[in-house]
Copies of this chain bind each other. A is one copy, B any other.
Amino acid sequence: QERLSGIASEVRVLVLLTGGTIGMTMEDDVLLPRPYAFASALKKQPALHDENYAHQTKLYDCFDSPDNILVLPESKEKKRVVYTILEYSPLLDSSNMTTDDWAKIAKDIKKNYEQYDGFVVLHGTDTMAYTASALSFMCENLGKTIVLTGSQVPIYTIRNDALDNLLDALLFAGQFVIPEVCLCFHHKLYRGNRVTKVDTSSFKAFSSPNLPPLANAEVDITINWENVWRANTIKKFSVQTDMNRNVGLLRIFPGITTETVKAFLQPPMEGIVLETYGAGNAPDNRLDLLQALKDATDRGVLIVNCTQCLLGCVSQSYATGKVLTDAGVIPGGDMTPEAALSKLSYVLGKRHISHEMKRKMLSENLRGEIKVAHCGAKISLRDS
C-alpha cells in the first residue's frame, strides 16, 4: 500500500481497551460499558484524531479494519502517533479482573510486540495498580513502553479526565522508549508497580509514595531519565502468563485472632502479603500467632512483610520484626501491597525454580519495585 508524504514521522501504538469508566456511559445514574463505540467517539475529538491527515496520507488504506485506526495531530516533537484500538469483548469491570485477564493482556502485547512502537492499556482505576504491578512482572526483558491509563469520568461525559489521560498515554507510549510497565494519570507517568489508588473523587487518583514520577506532562513533557529502570538485558521479550492464584493480602489489626490467621493461611494458600504496622511490626507477645506464621512458612508458604503505611518501608535490619524474620517472613522493603501480591503470584508461577530461589527473588529487585539497599532507618523502629 502506498502512502503519502510525512509518514516518516509516524509511530505506531496499540491501544487495548479492556474496559473501565473511560469507555462507559451514564444511563439512569448508573455507569455502564458501551461496546463498539469508543473508536468512533474518539474520531470526533480533534484532539485525538486528525481526519484530514488520515485522508491525505491514505492512512485507512493500509489496514484491514480502518474503523479502529486513528491518528493524533502532530505533536510538539513533530511526531504522528497512529494508533489502533483493540476493544475487548466483553468489556471488563476492573473490580472483576483476575489473573486470567492479566494473562490475556500480556498475551495480546506479546502477539503484537513487533508491529508497534508502544502500548496503551485502558483499564478501570479500581484495580489498575494491581494490574500494572502484575504486568510489570509478567513482561520479561521488556524493551518498549507500556502505559496503563483510564479515567475517573467517562470520555462521553462533559468535563472528563479521559481525553487528557489518553492523550498523554499515547504520547508517552509512542514517542519515548521507557522500557517499563507505566501508569499515566493526571499529567504524570509513574512506574506501574509503585502506584496505589489513593483518591476516589479527585482527578489525581494515584500516588507513587516511594518513588518520584518517571515523567511529567505539563506545559512540556519532561522525562526524569535517572528514575527510569533498565533491565540491562539483551534477551528477547517474553511474557510469563502462569500466575499463581493461591495468594492473598492479610492486614494485621489489634486483636486479630490466631484462628483468623490460621484460616487465611490454610491450603491451598501459597503466598501471603502480611500488612503490618509501621516499619514492619506485628504483635511479638502472641506466640500462637507467630507459631501459626512459622507453621505456614515451614510448609512452604511464602509470606512477605509490607507496611500498612502509605510511605516508608519495612526495615530489613536484624532487630526490627525479628520475631517475624524468625517465623520465616520475608521483609518486603518499600513494596506496595499491590506489587508484593502480584510479585508473589509471578514468582510462585515459576514452577521449575527452587523454594530458596523464590524467596531470593522476593527479596530482590526484579522490576524496580523495591529499593533493596538500606531503606530508611538504621535503627530499630519497633513500635515507633
Chain A positions within 8 Å of B, measured between CB atoms, are 19-21, 24, 26, 29-31, 44-47, 72-76, 93-99, 124-127, 130-131, 151-153, 157-159, 163-164, 167-168, 171, 187, 197-203, 207, 217-220, 226, 245-249, 251, 253-257, 260, 263-264, 266, 269, 275, 277-279, 281-286, 307-313, 317-319, 337, 341, 345, 376-384
Q: Which residues from B are CB-within-8-Å of A93?
A: 284-285, 382-383
Q: Which partner residue on chain B sits nearest A100 by CB separation? A: B255
Q: Which residues from B are CB-within-8-Å of A284?
A: 93, 95-96
10 chain-A/chain-B pairs, Cβ below 8 angstroms: A29-B317, A29-B378, A73-B158, A95-B281, A159-B171, A201-B220, A248-B257, A249-B253, A255-B345, A264-B264
Question: Are B255 and A99 in contact, CB atoms less than 8 angstroms apart?
Answer: yes
7 extra interface residue pairs, beta carbon distance < 8 Å, beyond A95-B383, A201-B376: A29-B380, A31-B383, A130-B254, A200-B384, A202-B311, A219-B377, A263-B266
Q: Which residues from B are CB-within-8-Å of A282?
A: 95
Q: Which residues from B are CB-within-8-Å of A286?
A: 96
Question: Are A199 and B311 in contact, CB atoms less than 8 angstroms apart?
Answer: yes
Question: Are B341 and A253 in contact, CB atoms less than 8 angstroms apart?
Answer: yes
Question: Are A29 and B319 in contact, CB atoms less than 8 angstroms apart?
Answer: yes
- How far is it, in angstroms, between the C-alpha of A380 and the C-alpha of B164 when the chains are bound? 22
Contact of A163 among B47, B245, B384 (CB under 8 A): B47
Question: Are A310 and B310 in contact, CB atoms less than 8 angstroms apart?
Answer: yes
- How far is it, in angstroms, between the C-alpha of A257 and the C-alpha of B382 when the chains are bound? 33
Given contacts A197-B309, A201-B220, A278-B200, contact A158 B163 (CB under 8 A): no
Question: Are A248 and B253 in contact, CB atoms less than 8 angstroms apart?
Answer: yes
Q: Which residues from B are CB-within-8-Å of A97?
A: 254
Q: Which partner residue on chain B sits nearest A157 by CB separation? A: B76
- How far is it, in angstroms, between the C-alpha of A152 and the C-alpha of B131 when the chains are bound? 34
Contact of A247 among B73, B126, B246, B255 (CB under 8 A): B255
Q: Which partner residue on chain B sits nearest A322 by CB separation? A: B30
Q: Which partner residue on chain B sits nearest A95 by CB separation? A: B281
Question: Are B199 and A152 in contact, CB atoms less than 8 angstroms apart?
Answer: no
Q: Which residues from B are CB-within-8-Å of A257?
A: 245-246, 248
Q: Which residues from B are CB-within-8-Å of A249?
A: 251, 253
Q: Which partner residue on chain B sits nearest A199 by CB separation? A: B311
Q: Which residues from B are CB-within-8-Å of A248?
A: 253, 256-257, 260
Given contacts A125-B384, A126-B278, A219-B202, contact A378 B76 (CB under 8 A): yes
- How far is it, in angstroms, between the C-alpha of A383 and the C-alpha of B123 when the chains are bound? 9
Contact of A263 among B24, B127, B263 (CB under 8 A): B263
- How far is it, in angstroms, between the C-alpha of A307 and the C-alpha of B220 when the chains are bound? 18
Question: Are B281 and A126 in contact, CB atoms less than 8 angstroms apart?
Answer: yes
- How far is it, in angstroms, between the C-alpha of A158 and the C-alpha of B47 when the chains are bound? 6
- How far is it, in angstroms, between the C-alpha of A152 and the C-alpha of B312 when the chains are bound? 13
Question: Are A72 and B203 in contact, CB atoms less than 8 angstroms apart?
Answer: no
Ordered nearest first, which 9 A-B pairs have the shortest CB separation?
A200-B312, A263-B263, A126-B277, A124-B383, A199-B311, A126-B278, A95-B281, A30-B319, A21-B384
Question: Are B219 and A383 in contact, CB atoms less than 8 angstroms apart?
Answer: no
Question: Are B308 and A197 in contact, CB atoms less than 8 angstroms apart?
Answer: yes
